[in-house]
């Protein structure tokens, strides 16, 4: 699909236009537009459907941008994506732009699956352990997964660290089978 292939190009363009320091705000604004596109079929059609003229699309989008309080740069970026008919790749562009931002800021994002809620003390210990492991500051998203018997499952980028009881039992089973 054409938009997804070029998503990296548009994500780099976004980072260059907005600047690295303003990226968190820009990503939040783009995510708000993406969420609205997901929730409203009409809004998605307005941006993606070539039936609407540029003036119709621009007038309607300016009203939406004012309601969402989008910055001028974010609004122009969204309109440019709509004009180029790649607005459907917005989620991919946001994902790649986030990865570029984290890379430049020497940060990483981790998803931690746990069977129970983690306390602040354990959260800080986990952050420091992940920082030692990755060499970067880590932002953690916690997800409750009651299917885990105990332990945690951590995903940092494309790397998975499995210290769950379920994972340890799977490793033990594999060793016994050998």
For the stretch 39-74, pLDDT in tens is 988 888 888 888 888 888 888 888 888 888 888 888
- Spans of the chain below 70 pLDDT: 1-5
pLDDT at 1: 43
Compute, in degrees rounded to 10, the torsion defined by CA atoms 153, 158, 159, 160: 20
What is the pLDDT, as a whole number, of residue 63? Answer: 86
Domain 2-102 has CATH 1.10.8: no
Q: Which pLDDT does position 9 carry in this prediction?
A: 87
Contact (Cβ atoms closer than 8 angstroms) between residue 118 and residue 112:
yes
The CATH number for 108-177, chosen from 3.30.930, 3.30.70, 3.90.930, 3.40.30, is 3.40.30
CATH 3.40.30 intervals, the chain? 108-177
What integer pLDDT is reported at residue 4 of this predicted model? 59
């Amino acid at each position: 699909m054409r938009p997804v292939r070029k998503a990296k190009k548009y994500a780099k363009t976004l980072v260059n236009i907005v600047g690295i320091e303003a990226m968190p705000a820009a990503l939040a604004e783009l995510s708000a537009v993406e969420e609205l596109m997901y929730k409203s079929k009409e809004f998605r059609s307005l941006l993606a459907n070539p039936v609407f003229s540029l003036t119709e699309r621009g007038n309607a989008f300016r009203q939406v941008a004012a309601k969402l309080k989008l910055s001028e740069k974010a609004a122009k970026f969204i309109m440019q994506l709509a004009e180029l008919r790649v607005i459907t790749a917005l989620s991919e562009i946001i994902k790649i732009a986030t990865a570029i931002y984290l890379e430049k800021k020497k940060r990483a994002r981790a998803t931690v699956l746990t069977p129970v809620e983690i306390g602040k003390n354990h959260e800080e210990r986990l952050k420091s352990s992940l920082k030692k492991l990755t060499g970067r500051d880590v932002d953690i998203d916690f997800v409750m997964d009651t299917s885990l018997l105990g332990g945690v499952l951590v995903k940092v980028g494309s790397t998975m660290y499995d210290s769950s009881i379920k994972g340890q039992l799977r490793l033990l089973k594999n060793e016994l089978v050998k």
